[in-house]
């Protein structure tokens, strides 16, 4: 996991790949991992940012069978969990639950925003293989990345 320095923020986006390495779909929306502030830690809640996690045994979130927290809209409650299947902390992957997803929301002067669409947080590799099938890119900067979803 990348480390922050000098107040830079770290953002992540991902795209799925076939076994041959061909990308399918679009790059996911960037998710803020670390805001670069003192004591910040990737994937940890802060007063202005909250993460939630969901595990599944399928890689495609649309097949998981739990809600997409983005659909709920903003809720002005700290430590809000939008629906069953989401937790406040990562639970980790296993052979039975091979994929873990993350969603994040940010608080500004107007209150809490909505949660992002889920992004793959981690995956469990089978038969000695790593948990590939996803390509990640990381962005380090003072502001949110602006990118073209077809070519970030």
Higher per-residue pLDDT: 120 or 69:
69
Band (4; pLDDT cuts 50, 70, 90): very low
Question: Of 38-42, 85-89, 133-137, which gets the smallest average pLDDT?
Answer: 38-42
44-68 mean pLDDT:
85
Question: pTM for this structure?
Answer: 0.67
Q: Which residues contact 139 (CB under 8 A, 6 or more apart)?
A: 10, 11, 12, 13, 30, 145
> CA-based angle 108:113:114, to the nearest 5?
165
Count of residues making up the chain: 152
CA distance 65 to 61: 8
Query: pLDDT by residue (tens digit) across 88-131?
Result: 988 988 888 988 899 989 898 999 999 988 888 888 776 555 45
């Amino acid at each position: 996991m990348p480390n922050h320095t000098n107040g830079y923020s770290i953002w992540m986006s991902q795209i799925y790949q076939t076994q041959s390495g061909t990308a399918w779909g679009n790059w996911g929306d960037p998710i803020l991992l670390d805001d670069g502030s003192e004591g910040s830690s990737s994937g940890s809640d802060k007063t202005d940012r909250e993460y939630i996690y969901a595990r599944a045994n399928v890689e495609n979130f649309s097949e998981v069978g739990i809600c997409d927290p983005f659909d709920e809209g903003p809720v002005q409650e700290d430590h809000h969990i939008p629906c069953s299947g989401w937790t406040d902390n990562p639970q980790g992957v296993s052979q039975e639950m091979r994929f873990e997803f993350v969603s994040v929301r940010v608080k500004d002067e107007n209150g809490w925003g909505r949660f992002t669409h889920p992004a793959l947080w981690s995956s469990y590799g089978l038969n000695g293989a790593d948990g590939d099938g996803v390509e990640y890119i990381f962005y380090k900067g003072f502001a949110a990345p602006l990118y073209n979803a077809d070519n970030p």
